[in-house]
Structure 1
Amino acid sequence: MEKYFESTDKSFNDYDNKKELMELNNLGYCYQYGIEKKKDGFKAFKLYLKAAEGGNSDAQNNLGYCYQNGIGVTKDKKKAFECYLKAANEDDLHAQYNLGICYQNGIGINKDNKKAFEWYLKSAKGEYSPAQNILGNFYQNEIGMEKDLEQEKAFELYKIAAEKDHYMSQCNLGILYENGNGTEKDLKQASFEYLKKSAEKGYSDAQFELGYYYYYGIGTKKDLSMAVYWFSKAAENGCKTALHNLGECYELGNGVDKNEIKAFEYYKKSAKYGDMDAKFILGYCYVNGIGTEINKEKGFKLYDEAAGNSDYKEYEEEIVDNLDEVKYWYQKAAKNDNKYALYKLGEFYQYGNGVGQNEMRAFVFYKKSADQGFIDAQYKLGDIYSKGTEIEINKEKAFELYELAAEGGNVNAQRSLASLYEKGEGTEQSKEKAIYWYEKAIENGCPKSQGLLNVLTQ
């Protein structure tokens, strides 16, 4: 490395050949990032400028980055765009990608998703992995498209970039495998493994997803301590959603010693970042003294914020007469479609806790929560369809909901799904699938399933 510096660290003279221009650009990079040189943004900028003036497209791209971020020069987004454009027109793949970012986000130019797509496409055709990843995102979400595009194209692009070890693409590919978008659904071999690869490279989104997989036993054996490990990693790397999950783990003692003070702190951090569910639970902590001193005034204020100050005129008299303070505020939050509150309200009405027992009203609240993807509500709704008194029994609907909740990791749904497969209710009878789901339920801590499995396999 010293020899390299001896050959390139010279005054700003004219550089005539491509090798010298490349070395000049590389030296600028060393000054920019402090690689065996004292970090110096101004020197980096000057070196990039000299190399760019000589026609080096890498330096032209780096010059754009300096203008965009104010490295060694006053920030100037318009000049950044011009530098990227010049380098992109010289077929610099990184510059083409950066130009796409400029068009997508309105950096130095008006936003234009169609042009962003065009530049990402040029870069992706040159096998530049970040462009392949973001182009996959464009296809997946139909950004800048004039017509509907199928998920297969997104899958292809993510896979190409993922195989080059691009961590974001590995995460995105894992999610496509998880949902069966653009490919066959594959939770174990594909989704879990790609998420793991991405998570191990430090990508917080993948770390959160991997924690979720371990928490619910999706694509792998349920392991709450590993869930806490990956949620913690995700939180350390800036994933705000993971803070809420860590709060829940500490509150319930899942994968870690129960610690309500830590739970409260995590909920507090999550609420600070605008997580409405965490804000609601934080209010509950204040009202009930969970991990903190009781402060009902603060708790009710947080409930109010979580509810979005919504009206609750419907059923107001019943609410005030029949619900205690906590349940009253559950009702208010539910008016803003808070999925956790909706689920709790379903429980109040199903079991008659503080209100008159009313399966129909429980059904309404569970459905609203289930429609937002709340797994426990999906199970409860399936149960009502399977055994309901006021709601007409519908085993096919029950099967669909149990399957959703079971795949999401709800142990009761796994047991119930196994039972439907065993009896052939709501689906074709399958002893093999019944055994599979009983075993999943046993793995996830349902001893009752062991007895049912023993009877089935006798």
Structure 2
Amino acid sequence: RKALILEWHRRWFDILATNADKGSVDAAKSLMKLYIADCPEDINPNDGLASAGKWYDRWIELLTAKAAKGDLVDKMNLADVLLYAEGVPEDLLDCFSDEDDERSLSQAVRLYKDITDSDCDGFFKAEAYYKMGIAYHDLGDEKKAFMCFKKAAKLNWHEAYAKLGDAYRYGNGVVPDDDTARKWYRKGADVGEITAILKLAECYKNGIGGEQDYEKAMLEYRHIAERINGRGFKHQTVGIGTALYELGDMYLNGLGVQPDLKKAIRYFTLSANKCNNPQAESKLNELL
């Protein structure tokens, strides 16, 4: 039985390899993952990792060939893989050198630029500018990143508002200006962008770019915390967990409210149990 299972395990991999050799993007991607997550037991793990690297190269080769035909969606898909390494196993990412990472980011920038230089619709172009900004940031070119975020914001890409706020707050590619940072966070918060709301609340809580206002900080944190039962919870877990933790912290330390340990523990518990927030877990261990 064991020998039969191994035979068909190998046969499964052979079928995928045949399809990948014929140009199947999905087959190459599957093999890259399977050689790490479900490698045949008679293959040494190090050899499996090497094979995964081989099929990663084939996957990128096939995606590059599709993108070279000029389709902007294919260009975006390839650029996203190169930027975010989406779908690439963590064990394989650990094998990449700094030079590999820089090469991937530079290639992603070129692909995004192809999109922004095209006559595509504004929404698609805004997305490309935003992601190009992230790539430039990861490459350490803050000035170019700032310009990309600015262009994305001009095209109403909401996530760019928080990035511009960060740029002004921390001096990333521009002269630091806390007042302007707060304005960009406010602009993002007005359209419901979760990162911008968190950053705006932080400005109110700590008096960044204006007067300290605990009441407004708590109001912004509540706006996010209320999403815990919403439809988009799975995609906002980290942000909601942070907001719940901050509410707990404000009740614990009496920031703008009467200290209330019971409410603080309730918010910390929600943050830890529902959102896996490590700060909340640590705080509960201290208090309980």
Could you state the TM-score of these two structures normalised by the residue count of structure 1?
Answer: 0.39
- Cα pair 2:181 2:209 within 8 Å, conserved: yes
TM-fit CA distance, 1:267: 1.3
| Matching residue within 117, 120, 127 for 2:112 | 120
* Pairs within 5 Å for 1:8-407: 86=66, 89-92=69-72, 94-104=73-83, 105-107=85-87, 112-126=104-118, 128-142=125-139, 149-188=140-179, 190-235=180-225, 236=227, 237-238=236-237, 239=239, 240-272=241-273, 273-286=275-288
TM-fit CA distance, 1:274: 4.7
- Cα pair 2:108 2:132 within 8 Å, conserved: no
Q: 1: CA distance between counterparts of 2:64 and 2:191? A: 28
Alpha carbons of 1:285 and 1:221: their partners in 2 closer, same or farther (altered >3 Å)? same
Q: As a proportion of its length, which structure holds more helix?
A: 2
Amino acid at match of 2:70: E
User: How many percent of aligned residue pairs carry the same amino acid?
Assistant: 26
TM-fit CA distance, 1:233: 2.4
Amino acid at match of 1:122: D
Amino acid at match of 1:174: G
Query: Which secondary structure does the structure 1 equivalent of 2:112 belong to?
Result: helix
TM-fit CA distance, 1:165: 1.5
Runs of 4 or more consecutive aligned structure 1 residues displaced over 6 Å after TM superposition: 81-85, 108-111
Q: 1: CA distance between counterparts of 2:64 and 2:213? A: 47
Query: Which secondary structure does the structure 1 equivalent of 2:192 belong to?
Result: coil
Amino acid at match of 1:263: A
Larger radius of gyration: 1
Q: 1: CA distance between counterparts of 2:88 and 2:205? A: 44
Could you state the TM-score of these two structures normalised by the residue count of structure 2?
Answer: 0.60
Alpha carbons of 1:85 and 1:259: their partners in 2 closer, same or farther (altered >3 Å)? farther
Q: 1: CA distance between counterparts of 2:136 and 2:177? A: 21
Q: 1: CA distance between counterparts of 2:277 and 2:88? A: 32
Alpha carbons of 1:257 and 1:124: their partners in 2 closer, same or farther (altered >3 Å)? farther
Deviations along 1:138-170, one digit per CA (max 9) or x if unpaired, are 11121xxxxxx4311111111111122211111
Deviations along 1:36-90, one digit per CA (max 9) or x if unpaired, are xxxxxxxxxxxxxxxxxxxxxxxxxxxx9xxx9xxxxxxxxx99x9799747733
Q: 2: CA distance between counterparts of 1:168 and 1:243? A: 21
Q: 1: CA distance between counterparts of 2:209 and 2:65? A: 44
- Cα pair 1:124 1:135 within 8 Å, conserved: no
Alpha carbons of 1:163 and 1:106: their partners in 2 closer, same or farther (altered >3 Å)? closer
Deviations along 1:273-308, one digit per CA (max 9) or x if unpaired, are 45443223212221xxxxxxxxxxxxxxxxxxxxxx
- Cα pair 2:272 2:278 within 8 Å, conserved: yes
TM-fit CA distance, 1:220: 2.2
TM-fit CA distance, 1:106: 4.6
The residue that corresponds to 1:28 in the other structure is none
Q: 1: CA distance between counterparts of 2:162 and 2:259? A: 31
The residue that corresponds to 2:232 in the other structure is none
Q: 2: CA distance between counterparts of 1:86 and 1:216? A: 49
Query: Which secondary structure does the structure 2 equivalent of 1:185 belong to?
Result: coil
- Cα pair 2:165 2:183 within 8 Å, conserved: yes
RMSD between superposed Cα atoms in Å: 3.2
Amino acid at match of 1:186: D
TM-fit CA distance, 1:218: 0.9
TM-fit CA distance, 1:204: 1.2
TM-fit CA distance, 1:125: 3.1
Stretches of structure 1 lacking an aligned partner (at least 5 in a row): 1-63, 69-77, 143-148, 287-458
Q: How many residues align?
A: 202
Q: 2: CA distance between counterparts of 1:88 and 1:165? A: 29
TM-fit CA distance, 1:242: 1.9
Amino acid at match of 2:187: K
Q: 1: CA distance between counterparts of 2:68 and 2:220? A: 39
